[in-house]
Amino acid sequence: MTGTATYFDPTSLREIAQRAMDSIGAGDGTSASSDSRARSSVSVRSPIIGRAAGSVSFVDDATITTNVDDAVGRATSVFAHWRSVPAPRRGEVVRHLGDELRRHKDALADLVQIEVGKIRSEALGEVQEMIDICDFAVGLSRQLHGLTISSERPGHRLAETWQPLGPVGVISAFNFPVAVWSWNAALALICGDTVVWKPSDATPLCSLATTVLARRAAITAGFSADVCQLVFGDASVGRALASDHRVPLISATGSTRMGRLVAPIVAERFGRSILELGGNNAAIVAPSADLDLVVRGVTFAAAGTAGQRCTSLRRLIVHSSRVDEVVDRIGRAYTQLRVGNPMSSDTLVGPLIDEKAGRAMTAAIEQAVAEGGRLVVGGERCLADAAPDAAYMRPAIVTMPRQTEIVRTETFAPILYVMSYETMDEAIAIQNDVPQGLASSIFTTDLREAERFTGPAGSDCGIANVNIGPSGAEIGGAFGGEKETGGGRESGSDAWKAYMRRQTQTINYSNELPLAQGVVFE
């Protein structure tokens, strides 16, 4: 891609989006007059320019609805058959989805860039994450194992099995518009569940294109496309999905505020929820830390994706003997970060999602200074002339005398608060003294410090890393956090169990009827 200024032109962004939709097959490159099928359009709003870039047309083949009742009804209907399909056959749908994603990786990454503002490598990485979870789930479809348990009664077998749960509702956020859906959908499908997806309002093209690929994969494997449903709409649509008693599980990703709204709705009807909410992630830098690793790991974790990851690094806790050197080196690295149009190959930091996010970043820095902090570098707006409606912000470093109110509050923007400590007890206490509990890390070459940090008296987060930052995770491990992060788990390990119901079975293959615990009832 050449000519950075070109991509500040809304017409160019719209054309790229339409080409991506055509490549995926959602747009198919034909005009409404030459296509007998119904056609619809979606408005494209891009943080690259901070406003609408026009509309993109697509073939309306029932992949999209604003009616939750209809979507859940279709998902419920097809579940009656889907749950009885052998799990390895269900895995064929996910295998075909992975193939579709490989074929259309570049086109889907285009849409992620346009709607979220990610740089190219991160957009491609998000689609690769989808491919990875598909590969994982296909293998898992042959390993949905239960247990055989020793029975106290002769001639009896005690077993535990896992059964399909039902339609799964997925509510996703803007910052990972396709990967988070795939974590849930790939597992839900191989577990025998159907999927109803309510994506972020900010990313309609990403979700539409992904659903087209998923439904095509189902048809290719010989099954109904209705195993995957898509519903568009505002927060009222999310509430309707969370309220529907036909949806036994809601997996919701977003802010802690959103989780506080969703969780009681689901709990009131005795549904289940997987919540992946706020993160206020920290890294401890010990005296023995390799500072070359620290600078690279911290810079990406704090500034990557413009600080708009739930695992973004927001707090840096540095031993007092190293704090000046660490701030100086990371500060110099920050001055080399290229903030700009994410469609340009030399950009490292793109825009925030909207102007509101930019104002929140400015307000947070002002509050931090009022609470005794010192702005070391960054924090200013960029590219105001080229893209006056967009929120391009230079990543900021703010040193703090202590963990104040604003430091304990998650601001979804590239602000790194730096504090010092004297003892490891103090560092771990600072790390844990926030409401959120998603990701954490420590940089140390001291084995005892590393083991202590990852031990029972160490980090209280769902993710604890050593000598890497908290941002970014492989799909092989379960992803999620504690406290106000919600406590749910997605992706790898045994997270699949959340998408199934546990059933304990007792089989009597004898001619007698002994009761448990020696009870006699003659």
Contact 303, 348 (CB under 8 A): yes
For 52-101, give the DSSP string.
EEEEEEEE-SS--BS-HHHHHHHHHHHHHHHTTS-HHHHHHHHHHHHHHH
Contact 312, 349 (CB under 8 A): no
- Is 382 a catalytic site residue? no
What's the rounded Cα separation, in Å, for the pair 198 and 185?
12
Q: Give how far Cα 254 sits from Cα of 118, 125, 306, 325, Å.
A: 18, 20, 17, 35
What's the rounded Cα separation, in Å, for the pair 313 and 116?
19
What's the rounded Cα separation, in Å, for the pair 214 and 230?
11
Q: Which of 235, 241, 237, 228 is nearest to 61 (CA)?
A: 228
Q: Where are the alpha helices (DSSP H) in 446-498?
A: 447-453
- Is 276 a catalytic site residue? yes
276, 449, 484, 490: the catalytic one is 276
134, 191, 310, 461: the catalytic one is 310
437 has which bridge partners? 482
What's the rounded Cα separation, in Å, for the pair 77 and 366?
53
Q: Strands 415-421 and 396-399, how do they pair?
A: parallel
Greatest Cα pair distance, the chain, in angstroms, is 89
Q: Strands 381-382 and 281-285, how do they pair?
A: unpaired
Tokens representing 374? 């010192």
Q: Which of 489, 4, 2 is nearest to 251 (CA)?
A: 489
Tokens representing 191? 């577990």
For 285-337, give the DSSP string.
E-TT--HHHHHHHHHHHHHGGGG-STT-EEEEEEETTTHHHHHHHHHHHHHT-
* Secondary structure E strands in 302-430: 313-319, 374-377, 381-382, 392-393, 396-399, 415-421
What amino acid is encoded at 246 in this protein? R
Task: Give me the residue label for tokens 């420590």.
Answer: 442
> Does the CA dihedral 30-31-36-39 come out positive or negative?
positive
Contact 176, 279 (CB under 8 A): no
Q: Give how far Cα 233 sits from Cα of 204, 212, 230, Å.
A: 10, 18, 10
The burial of 399, by beta-carbon neighbours within 10 Å (0-12 exposed, 13-18 middle, 19 or more buried), is given as: buried
Residues marked as catalytic: 276, 310
